[in-house]
């Protein structure tokens, strides 16, 4: 009773009310256990290293097993911390290592403009990681409200998922590399393992991933539960593939044009005419090859993000030239920059139809890239050219002549789970135009492509993706890759898209599903914690 009536020290949460900090589990190894238990700079360095190694779980490596020891180190450090502040610091350092390693490829974008921003080269990835690291610090601190053991592990998994989902509110949103993408393995195995995203989304997969990674900490039963969980996951995915056959549908054959224009050429602007001619020639040859294979399907050719080196909306001659190159197609989807009525610059994609290249519809990018397309106000220096871009009004569906309804998406808008489709006007397919030339032949374009595949499963819609330097690809409504044109290749990819599936459970309810699931993991922890808080408050009043 004496311990219950004692006021908690400053900086200690109710879950910290222990006489002695718990000892890290022996199975981590005596060396790691001593480092974690001793604290100090060695423990901090260990957190950075564990986070960096955990980044190997992201595409294209997809090494899920690495999360088991990495999360074991993190949770042991959380338990061994003397207060919630110490746990938060360790979570922060883990997140710093995770996102610095996972976003290493951002350095390539700085190198494109190294003559101006050379001093940012060593800061690009760590700088973004500093902004994202608190997303790991909060779960590390708050999970200590639960008692040590399986309840704390459950609380950590739920909190990790909820705070990771909150990344959509950072700047214009940056939900890159959720741990649910671990299951986007190449080939048929990956097709099976990502199918549950149709029910619970990639954030639900993140929750499942963290729970599975934590299970071995429970002991032998936890290891058996991990094996059983993986088998159940795979059976659920296989079952969905079998029970939801793809309809033929009425979607078009898409001709994806990959110009392979280096970013230095695009920025310089000296070869605009040559770039335009290259796209015209590729379109002409692609349409000619695809027409005999179309089998009566309409053709739609797609140019990548900002592929047209000018202002297409204002260039009637260029649109007519594009229409002539695409003769035989029902429509063309062209990435371009435009200036609106107020003189604001917008990153846009236009649908051109008819022999005169009439602009049948246009879409402005709504999720802008921080530091790339708009200038965050807190920065004391200017990194975005000019005034940056203006954001569009949000997702929409195009209804083009003779073409099934399509939802356009520009660049990294496709990473926003649950925000890629107009729910009131559901399209039959999605088209994503992008320019990943900034990021070189790195993990960046592969991680971006993995997001495209996940959106196909979540929404039950086929997706066609045209990228400037690669990777251009198409996925059916199960997320199965139909074809791809690899990195640093110039060419054309003609693909017949399959039909759309009925709206998925996730398509109906969106991110409310993973939010609810994550909240459910907190109930056992709160059930233990809340009565204790009530007793302490009652005793203090006495």
> Closest by alpha carbon to 415, among 173, 182, 193?
173
Task: Give yes or no: 365 in active site.
Answer: yes
The per-residue pLDDT for range 26-80, each reduced to its tens digit, is 456 666 777 787 678 888 999 999 999 999 999 999 999 999 999 999 999 999 9
Contacts of 401 (CB under 8 A, 6+ apart): 330, 331, 353, 360
Question: Domains of the chain by range and CATH?
Answer: 22-243+511-541 (no CATH), 253-507 (3.60.110.10)
70 in active site: no
Among the listed residues 70, 128, 143, 411, the single catalytic one is 411
| Other Cβ atoms within 10 Å of 481 Cβ, number | 17
Task: Note if 305 is an active site residue.
Answer: yes
Q: What are phi and psi of 430, to 5 degrees?
A: -120, 145
Question: Which of the following is catalytic: 70, 263, 266, 305?
Answer: 305
Strand ranges (E), 232-305: 253-258, 299-302
Q: Specify the 3-state DSSP secondary structure of 272.
A: helix
For the four alpha carbons of 451, 456, 457 and 459, in that order, the dihedral sign comes to positive
Whether cis (ω within 30° of 0) applies to the bond prior to 170 is no
Tokens read off for 446:
């592969």
Q: Which of 143, 365, 413, 459 is catalytic?
A: 365
- Residue pLDDT tens, the chain, 542 long: 333 434 444 444 554 544 334 444 545 666 677 778 767 888 899 999 999 999 999 999 999 999 999 999 999 999 999 899 999 999 999 999 999 999 998 888 777 666 666 566 677 788 889 999 999 999 999 999 998 889 999 999 999 999 999 998 876 788 999 999 999 999 999 999 999 999 999 999 999 999 999 999 988 999 999 999 999 999 999 999 999 999 988 899 999 999 999 887 777 667 899 999 999 999 999 999 999 998 889 999 999 999 999 999 999 999 999 999 999 999 999 999 999 888 888 999 999 999 999 999 999 999 887 766 766 665 655 555 656 778 888 999 999 999 999 999 999 899 999 999 999 999 999 999 999 888 888 999 999 999 999 999 999 999 999 999 989 999 999 999 999 999 999 999 999 999 999 999 999 999 999 999 999 999 987 766 666 555 555 555 55
Question: Which of 144, 206, 72 has its CA nearest to residue 525?
Answer: 144
DSSP structure string for 417-463: TT-SS-TTS--SEEEEEE--GGG-SSHHHHHHHHHHHHHHHHHT--E
* Torsion-angle region of 479 (φ positive above 0: left; ψ -120 to 50: alpha; else: beta): left
Residue 535 is predicted with a pLDDT of 54
The label of the residue with tokens 């704390």 reads 152
DSSP for residue 315: -
- Of 428, 418, 448, 425, give the one whose Cα is nearest residue 436: 448
Q: How far is CA 411 from CA 85, 249, 489, in A?
A: 38, 26, 19
Burial 307-334 (b: 16+ CB within 10 A, else e): bbbbebbebeebbbebbebbeebbbbbb
Degrees, nearest 5: CA angle 249-253-256: 135
pLDDT of res. 13: 53
The 10 Å CB-count burial string (b at 16+, else e) for 371-382 is bbbbbeeeeeee
Closest of 78, 71, 33 to residue 50, by C-alpha: 71
What's the token pair of residue 208? 């499942």
d(CA 309, CA 304): 11
- Residue 192's H or E segment, with its range, is helix 187-193
Query: Which letter does DSSP use for residue 491 in this model?
Result: E
């Amino acid at each position: 009773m004496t311990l219950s009536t004692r006021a908690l020290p400053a900086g200690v949460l109710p879950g910290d009310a222990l006489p002695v900090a718990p000892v890290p589990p022996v199975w981590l190894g005596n060396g790691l256990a001593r480092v974690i238990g001793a604290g100090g700079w060695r423990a901090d360095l260990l957190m950075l290293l564990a986070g960096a190694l955990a980044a190997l779980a992201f595409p294209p490596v997809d090494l899920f097993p690495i999360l088991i020891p990495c999360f074991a180190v993190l949770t042991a450090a959380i338990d061994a911390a003397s207060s919630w502040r110490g746990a938060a610091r360790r979570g922060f350092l883990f997140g710093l290592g995770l996102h610095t390693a996972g976003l290493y490829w951002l350095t390539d974008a700085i190198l494109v403009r190294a003559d101006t921003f050379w001093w940012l080269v060593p800061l690009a990835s760590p700088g973004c990681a500093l902004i994202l690291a608190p997303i790991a610090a909060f779960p590390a601190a708050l999970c200590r409200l639960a008692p040590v053991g399986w309840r704390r592990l459950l609380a950590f998994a739920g909190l990790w998922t909820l705070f990771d989902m909150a990344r959509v509110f950072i700047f214009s949103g940056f939900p890159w590399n959720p741990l649910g993408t671990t299951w986007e393995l190449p080939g048929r195995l990956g097709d099976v393992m990502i199918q549950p995203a149709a029910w619970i989304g990639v954030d639900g997969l993140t929750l499942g991933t963290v729970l599975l990674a934590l299970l071995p900490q429970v002991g032998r039963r936890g290891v058996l539960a991990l094996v059983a969980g993986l088998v159940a996951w795979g059976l659920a995915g296989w079952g969905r593939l079998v029970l939801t056959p793809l309809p033929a549908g009425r979607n078009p054959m898409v001709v994806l044009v990959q110009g392979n224009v280096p970013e230095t050429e695009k920025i310089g602007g000296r070869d605009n005419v040559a770039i335009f001619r290259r796209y015209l020639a590729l379109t002409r040859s692609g349409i000619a090859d695809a027409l005999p294979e179309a089998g009566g399907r309409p053709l739609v050719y797609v140019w990548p993000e900002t592929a047209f080196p000018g202002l297409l909306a204002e260039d009637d001659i260029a649109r007519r030239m594009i229409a002539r190159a695409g003769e035989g197609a029902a429509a063309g989807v062209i990435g371009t920059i435009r200036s609106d009525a107020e003189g604001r610059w917008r990153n846009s994609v236009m649908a051109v139809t008819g022999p005169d290249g009439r602009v049948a519809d246009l879409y402005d990018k709504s999720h802008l890239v921080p530091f790339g397309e708009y200038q965050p106000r807190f920065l004391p220096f200017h990194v975005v050219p000019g005034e940056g871009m203006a954001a569009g009004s949000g997702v929409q569906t195009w209804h083009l002549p003779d073409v099934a309804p399509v939802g356009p998406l520009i660049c990294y808008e496709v990473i926003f789970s649950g925000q890629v489709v107009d729910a009131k006007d559901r399209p039959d397919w999605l088209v994503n135009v992008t320019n990943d030339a900034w990021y070189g032949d790195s993990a960046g374009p592969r991680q971006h492509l993995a997001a495209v595949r996940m959106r196909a499963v979540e929404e039950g819609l086929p997706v066609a993706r045209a990228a400037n330097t690669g990777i251009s690809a198409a996925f059916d409504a199960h997320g199965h890759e139909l074809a791809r044109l690899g990195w640093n290749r110039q060419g054309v990819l003609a693909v017949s898209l399959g039909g759309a599936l009925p709206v998925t459970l996730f398509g109906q309810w969106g991110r409310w599903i993973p939010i609810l699931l994550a909240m459910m993991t907190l109930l056992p922890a709160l059930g233990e914690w809340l009565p204790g808080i009530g007793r302490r408050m009652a005793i203090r009043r006495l």
